[in-house]
Amino acid sequence: MTFDLAHPALAGALAARGYADPTPVQDAVLQAAAGRDLLVSAQTGSGKTVAYGLALADNLLGAAQRLPSPAAPLALVVAPTRELAMQVRGELAWLYGAAGGRIASCIGGMDGRSEARALAAGCHIVVGTPGRLCDHLRRGTLDLSALGAVVLDEADEMLDLGFREELEQLLSAAPEGRRTMMFSATIPHDIAALARQFQRDALRIDTLGRNRPHADIAYRAVRVAPHETLHAVVNVLRQEEAPTALVFCATREAVRRLHASLLERGFASVALSGELSQAERSHALQALRDGQARVCVATDVAARGLDLPALDLVIHADLPGDRDALLHRSGRTGRAGRKGSSVLVVPVSRRRRAEELLSTAGVQACWGDVPDADSIHARDADRLMADAMFVQPPGEEELPLIRRLLEGHTPEQVAAALIRLQRARMPAPEELSPVAASERRVHGAAAGACAWFSLSLGRRHRADPKWLVPLICRMGGVEKRDIGAIRIFDRETKFEIDAAQAARFATMVAEDAATATGTENPRIAPCAPAAAATPWRHPSRAPESRGRGRARAA
């Protein structure tokens, strides 16, 4: 499978950039009938910018080898964010450079007067964000009368960001006979409705099933004790030592806290959230691209349209809200054939939610624990041994110092100094709580060993977990998390206590029974395990669902 193009200028541009074989989305778009409307499902990083850039050749060049003199734009590309729009402009500039193409941009946060002058001077393609394009349209500085094609890039993200009205305004202002191509990671109801309204007999292309770039993403899920998410993120970053990593948080406040904690530990990191100005956002992204920072902490909204070609690692410090968010986040890595990793940090209390997310997304993840300090130091040792500095022969100017070092120190001392220098450059790994104990506390008998006890109260006493749990905690000196399954019978209730707390619990309830007075006080004693049973139904409520602290009756 190779590029089969009728335009030598475009073929030469691709060859100069090292493009040999088309990606699945590029091949599918090139196979479509010339001039036809397209509705394309394609992930970020699948090569779709080059795909629609090549498809635009039918409208821009026709049978000609070079573009005509620039005048009113012939094609319009709409992108959701400033970063993506600038990236698209750069891609189209090199693709159409040899054909004489002139690309103008209309992007929020840039100088609108300079943009108006560029439009007045003439161009072939306009790339912009919805809001700024509509501003130029209202002012009369953007003339869409000559458009032969409109491209909506990341259409689902533009609707998520609330740009539906602007998109409808732009599409309504374009000539009725123009070609319309929509590219979207997903095709939800809103995208389908927009396609029906503004496209004519669109060809549906779905490349997600073939999804070659995203087959290069390795998914991992690491279990962590409650409240140790930060430690997990630190250790994953240290284990991977990725040149660029993107860490997702659910809220702006979570981004601020995590970013501050990473800076405190010595990670070169930046933060992206909706509260940043455009200048602050641009500075942060430039630091990542220049290598001055290697970790970016961001919210989902702030990362929309973000393109970091060298991104190797995505960490979900907070679980994504749904399958689409999981795929969008993870799709920032593993791009254009590069290998990438997507790591979900899963508190033990949210393991079921994580499993549901992975299942609905059709993703197979490798489950495990957060890497500990020993495994991280072992990886550091492997990286040190494989470092290119050992391959390079010593230079003439280095030999005198080498001799002095070996004269005054043993080889072991020199090697120890090298190891210390390497470790001093990197943040120290964090110590983590054992996950197994945390899982027992969160999930009770389902995740670890437990002991069974009986309580002399049952259905006849209108027993209810709402007041049984506090009673058990008070009588036995345990916490709610130490209680597992509760099964209510006619005259008694049987319940589980974490095995680590069982001996102390038994002692306390025995002492309480020995000092109690009266015949009405409830009694607790060890018992045989209760048999599985159907859910217990309270007389005034619907059946309780199964789970820790929820009652089941025989």
What average pLDDT does the chain have? 83
Domains in the chain: boundaries: 8-206, 213-373, 376-424, 435-553
Q: How far is CA 214 from its chain centroid?
A: 13
CA angle 88, 91, 96 (to 5 degrees): 120
Residue with tokens 């394609």: 42
> Would you call 376 helix, strand, or coil by DSSP?
helix
**What CA–CA distance (Å, rounded) separates 489 from 484?**
16
pLDDT tens digit at each of 554 positions of the chain: 456 676 788 888 888 888 878 888 888 888 887 789 999 987 766 788 999 999 999 889 887 888 999 999 999 999 988 888 988 999 999 999 999 999 999 998 788 999 999 999 999 999 999 999 999 999 999 999 999 999 999 888 888 778 999 999 999 999 998 999 999 877 878 888 999 999 998 999 887 654 333 557 889 999 998 788 999 999 999 999 888 999 999 999 999 999 999 999 999 999 988 777 777 888 888 888 888 899 999 998 777 767 676 788 999 999 998 888 898 888 888 765 678 899 999 988 888 889 889 988 888 889 888 999 889 988 888 888 877 777 778 888 888 888 888 888 998 988 888 888 877 778 888 988 776 445 545 554 444 568 899 999 988 888 888 889 888 988 888 888 788 888 888 889 999 898 888 888 998 888 777 666 554 578 899 988 765 443 344 433 333 333 444 444 44
Q: Which pLDDT score, from 0 to 100, does residue 215 have?
A: 59
Q: Which pLDDT score, from 0 to 100, does residue 547 have?
A: 40
Residues 435-553: name the CATH superfamily: RRM (RNA recognition motif) domain (3.30.70.330)
**HEC sequence for 78-126:** ECCCHHHHHHHHHHHHHHHCCCCCCEEEECCCCCHHHHHHHHHHCECEE
Residues 8-206: name the CATH superfamily: P-loop containing nucleotide triphosphate hydrolases (3.40.50.300)
Q: Which pLDDT score, from 0 to 100, does residue 75 have?
A: 96
DSSP for 178-195 reads SEEEEEES---HHHHHHH
**Common-topology check for domains 8-206 and 213-373:** yes
Q: Say what the pTM is.
A: 0.57
Amino acid at 482: D
Q: Which pLDDT score, from 0 to 100, does residue 540 have?
A: 39
Contact 440, 471 (CB under 8 A): no
Dihedral-angle region of residue 144 (phi above 0 means left; psi in -120 to 50 means alpha; beta otherwise): alpha
Q: Which pLDDT score, from 0 to 100, does residue 455 have?
A: 93
Contact 81, 89 (CB under 8 A): no
The phi, psi pair for 234, rounded to 5°, reads -60, -50
Name the strand (E) or helix (H) holding 452.
Answer: strand 450-455
Name the strand (E) or helix (H) holding 440.
Answer: helix 435-443
Least Cα distance to 229 among 354, 65, 107 occurs for 354
**What CA–CA distance (Å, rounded) separates 244 from 106?**
29
**What CA–CA distance (Å, rounded) separates 474 from 476?**
6
**What is the 3-state composition of the chain as percent helix, strand, coil, each rounded to the nearest 5?**
45, 15, 40
Q: Which pLDDT score, from 0 to 100, does residue 306 have?
A: 72
Q: Are strands 493-498 and 450-455 parallel, antiparallel or unpaired?
A: antiparallel
Q: Strands of 499-546 (E only): list them.
A: 524-526
Q: How far is CA 75 from its chain centroid?
A: 32
**Tens digits of per-residue pLDDT, 296-321?**
999 987 777 676 767 889 999 999 98
CATH class belonging to 213-373: alpha beta
Q: Are strands 217-224 and 149-152 parallel, antiparallel or unpaired?
A: unpaired
Residue with tokens 């791009």: 335
Q: Which pLDDT score, from 0 to 100, does residue 435 have?
A: 65
- Burial of residue 4 (CB within 10 Å: 0-12, 13-18, 19+) is exposed
**What CA–CA distance (Å, rounded) separates 204 from 189?**
15
Helix extents (H) in 149-218: 155-160, 164-173, 189-198
Q: Which pLDDT score, from 0 to 100, does residue 249 have?
A: 94
DSSP state of 533: -
